[in-house]
Amino acid sequence: MRIGIYGGSFNPVHNGHIHLARTVADELGLDRVYLVPSRISPHRSVAEYASPEDRTAMLRLAAQCDERLRVSTYELDTDRVSYSIYTVEHFRRKFPDEELFLLIGSDMLLSFDKWFRFEDIMREVTLAAVSRENGDIGLLEEKAEQLRKFGEICISRSSAVEVSSTEIRKKIAKNQDFTCYIDENVVQYIRQKGLYRA
């Protein structure tokens, strides 16, 4: 089985996140993609950050569109800093014999060699980097070539969906329309809960 791991704050989850997960699943023939919401400091304002429970609920609603998408609360359930190596090791223990892929955005690939224990991550998984901005493939390929001495890297050539959770939160706070960026079930959840209001 081929399994993807896709972490992020998902605050809120939007169409760009889901497009990325499904596109990589299609390109690499992944059987499952686990969406892993990260821990966020409790000192952040409620207007800016939804609770772990709300972010998880929104992810589960958004993931209903594709049976390959699953939600893992591993990082939310642990007390330590959510370094990616710990998450990767968790999935390696859970799936000792499966092929694991870590999905990351292009901005993350460009700084990947600064990540905590990045060499250990690359020993356990194949990196699957996805373009966040149209036209950055050349930069990605150059960085991937530098990193391939540590492990396997795939570059997705699909067109990027340029959507930002930050911009969506700003639109909601200003009472502007945001519905084209988010799954309709998640839109309803945000409205019912009054999330991201100024």
> What is the domain-level CATH number for residue 33?
3.40.50.620
If one counts the domains in the chain, the total is 1
The residue length of the chain stands at: 198
Average pLDDT, the chain: 91
Query: Is 198 part of any domain?
Result: no
Assess if residue 138 is contained within a domain: yes
CB 141 within 8 A of CB 155: yes
Residue 55 predicted with pLDDT over 90: yes
Of 133, 109, 130, 131, nearest to 121 (Cα)?
A: 109
Q: Confidence band (pLDDT; 50, 70, 90) for 41?
A: low
Between 20 and 73, the more confident residue is: 73
Residue closest to 58 by CA, chosen among 168, 147, 190, 175: 190
Is the pLDDT assigned to residue 42 strictly greater than 60?
no
User: Does residue 10 have a pLDDT over 60?
Assistant: yes
Q: What is the pTM of this model?
A: 0.92
CA distance 180 to 76: 28
| Residue 161 pLDDT > 80 | no
Print the domain residue range for 127.
2-193
